[in-house]
């Protein structure tokens, strides 16, 4: 087909662009139909009454999602056909029979904003929106537009699980094969594990779409025009991002699209990029990172429909109110906030219910001295150690606190014995099968006597928590917290370690394990102290009779 005579926006900016096979032609908007529509119309003569309008509400829907995100990087100038390529993507989507939803149209206009020289303003586009709102379908359309209409040589799609990237890759091929005009310029697909890609014909530019797993080896040796990162929240360290983000540096018109819903404290890459984008939203800073976030405001109620509409822009179009009601009735609160309200939470699979933990805080209360139990633990890296204390209040509740903490095991070794002597607890507990084993000379003192299975030294009992007792202590702390029976002073250190703990399955139970690079010694110390405070029987005193 001869090249069009009018100059597209890309040509005005010096971009290379091949002839458009779609100009003046379009497939019928009925997805099951392969006929072409009449010029200027969306549907072929066989489907004259079909209505496929993305702005049409679902039947019975009373609410619509918000088109404009709650947080976003503002444009540098009014967005017109001269200042953004987004209008071309919208037209492309309509021509292939997959018109964009209102929020998707808004996004492509802003995300594809141009600089004065015709390059894209944003080299990294960070999109946060709740689940099932159409992130994948939008990214599929943008990727195909870049291959067919924007002369992209290589598009790379990655995900933590390559099967997820493969799903998107397959959807792109399904879209191509459903459109006669796109299929006419489809060349070949290679479907070999570890080397999966498809390619357009040379006349269409020969662009390729390749997929890979998101890891430290991904993308190395490649120069990429468009990098698609699925569910950025799942990147728990910088290894994959460091490898992937550099693949676009040598391409003048490259973009990284990172689309996700909200994460938790372990989503280090997502959290850092979001913070950087929020700090750089001032256009005068010239940051090439764009943030577009559809989310509920912090602190909103779970059933706040204004917040839900803000986080779910497809509400009333492809998502029904009933679907959200169903999730509200079945999801734990933190899961609902992350998946449906697109709000960052401290933890998703934490060992301790943080809502109940925070509700149990009592900063003004004092620690009883009778029946006081101390528990010591060291973190695995030896860079932190904690001595926790707890006492049974007599009504089923336990009050706990952090007595002292140290920045290293070496610092604790120099002071622990003196701290215990000053504290004079009824019992001292520790975990000898863990990193605190090196403290055995202090926590298993010479001269200790064994009486009815209990280890005593100078009127103080020493309790070793091993085997199943470790799981009993950790799970017991979780149970006390959930029942509202663990009272604590809202100590920042203890709160941080509780927040940073998650479950490590052991047999039929579990114990604490740290999340990311954090520490959990305070959580262990509190669990051990509370467990012993509840289970320790009084020490039997010798019955001494005075001879008459």
pLDDT for 12 equals 40
Query: Other C-beta atoms within 10 Å of 438: how many?
Result: 14
Closest CA to 485 of 348, 379, 393: 393
pLDDT for 46 equals 56
- DSSP structure class, residue 37: P
pLDDT for 334 equals 83
Looking up tokens 């139909």, which residue turns up?
Answer: 33
How far, in Å, are 163, 165, 212, 434, 533 from residue 158 at the CA level?
Answer: 9, 5, 5, 38, 50
**Please, which residues have CB within 8 angstroms of residue 26's CB and are 6 or more apart in sequence?**
36, 37, 42, 94, 95, 96, 97, 181
pLDDT for 263 equals 84
The backbone torsions φ and ψ at residue 404, rounded to the nearest 5 degrees and listed phi first, read -160, 150
Looking at the chain, which residues constitute the CATH 3.40.50.300 domain(s)?
71-294
Instruction: Say which CATH topology domain 71-294 has.
Output: Rossmann fold (3.40.50)
Please, what are the averages of pLDDT over each run of 10 residues along the chain (548 residues)? Answer: 38 43 55 57 53 54 90 94 96 93 97 96 96 94 96 92 89 93 94 89 93 82 90 87 88 94 85 89 73 93 94 94 92 89 79 87 88 94 94 92 95 95 93 93 84 74 92 94 94 90 87 77 96 77 51
pLDDT for 373 equals 95
pLDDT for 21 equals 47
pLDDT for 13 equals 40
CB 69 within 8 A of CB 293: yes
Q: What distance in Å separates the CA atoms of residue 233 and residue 235, rounded to the nearest whole number?
A: 6
Query: Other C-beta atoms within 10 Å of 432: how many?
Result: 14
Looking up tokens 């586009």, which residue turns up?
Answer: 125
pTM of the model: 0.69
pLDDT for 428 equals 94
Q: What distance in Å separates the CA atoms of residue 498 and residue 522, rounded to the nearest whole number?
A: 8
Q: What is the CA radius of gyration of the chain?
A: 31
354-535 CATH: 3.30.420.240
Looking at the chain, which residues constitute the CATH 3.30.420.240 domain(s)?
354-535
């Amino acid at each position: 087909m001869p090249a069009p005579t009018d100059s597209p926006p890309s040509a005005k900016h010096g971009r290379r662009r091949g002839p458009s096979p779609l100009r003046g032609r379009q497939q019928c908007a009925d997805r099951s139909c392969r006929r072409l529509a009449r010029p200027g119309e969306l549907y072929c003569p066989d489907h004259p009454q079909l209505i496929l309008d993305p702005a049409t509400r679902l039947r019975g829907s009373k609410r619509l999602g918000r088109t404009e995100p709650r947080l976003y990087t503002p444009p540098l100038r009014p967005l017109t056909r001269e200042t953004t390529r987004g209008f071309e993507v919208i037209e492309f989507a309509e021509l292939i029979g997959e018109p964009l939803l209102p929020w998707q149209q808004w996004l492509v206009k802003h995300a594809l904003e141009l600089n004065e020289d015709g390059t894209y303003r944003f080299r990294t586009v960070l999109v946060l929106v709740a689940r099932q709102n159409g992130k994948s379908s939008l990214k599929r359309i943008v990727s195909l537009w870049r291959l067919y209409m924007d002369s992209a040589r290589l598009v790379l799609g990655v995900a933590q699980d390559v099967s997820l990237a493969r799903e998107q890759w397959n959807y792109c091929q399904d879209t191509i094969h459903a459109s006669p005009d796109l299929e006419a310029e489809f060349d070949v697909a290679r479907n070999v594990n570890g080397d999966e890609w498809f390619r357009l014909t040379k006349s269409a530019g020969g662009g390729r779409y390749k997929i890979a797993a998101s890891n430290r080896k991904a993308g190395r040796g490649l120069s990429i025009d468009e990098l698609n990162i699925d569910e950025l929240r799942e990147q728990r360290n910088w290894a994959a991002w460091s490898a992937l983000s550099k693949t676009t540096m040598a391409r003048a018109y490259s973009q990284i699209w990172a689309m996700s819903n909200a994460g938790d404290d372990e989503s280090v890459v997502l959290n850092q990029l979001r913070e950087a984008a929020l700090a750089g939203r001032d256009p005068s800073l010239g940051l090439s990172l764009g943030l577009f976030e559809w989310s509920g405001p912090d602190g909103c109620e779970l059933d706040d429909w204004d917040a839900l509409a803000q986080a779910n822009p497809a509400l009333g179009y492809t998502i029904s109110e009933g679907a959200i009601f169903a999730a509200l009735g079945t999801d734990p609160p933190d899961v609902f906030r992350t998946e449906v309200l697109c709000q960052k939470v401290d933890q998703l699979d934490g060992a301790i219910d943080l809502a109940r933990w925070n509700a149990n805080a009592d900063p003004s209360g004092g620690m009883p001295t009778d029946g006081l139990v101390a528990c010591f633990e060291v973190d695995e890296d030896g860079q932190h150690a904690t001595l926790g204390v707890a006492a049974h209040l007599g009504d089923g509740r336990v009050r706990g606190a952090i007595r002292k903490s140290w920045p290293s095991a070496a610092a604790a070794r120099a002071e622990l014995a003196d701290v215990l002597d000053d504290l004079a607890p009824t019992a001292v507990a520790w975990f000898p099968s863990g990193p605190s084993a090196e403290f055995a000379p202090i926590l298993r003192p010479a001269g200790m006597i064994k009486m009815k299975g209990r280890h005593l030294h100078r009127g103080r009992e020493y309790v070793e928590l091993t085997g199943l007792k470790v799981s009993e202590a950790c799970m017991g702390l979780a149970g006390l917290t959930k029942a509202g029976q663990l009272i604590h002073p809202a100590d920042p250190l203890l709160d941080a370690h509780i927040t940073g703990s998650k479950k490590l399955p052991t047999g039929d139970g579990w114990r604490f394990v740290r999340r990311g690079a954090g520490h959990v010694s305070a959580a262990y110390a509190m669990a051990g102290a509370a467990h012993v405070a509840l289970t320790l029987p009084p020490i039997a005193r010798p019955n001494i009779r005075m001879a008459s």
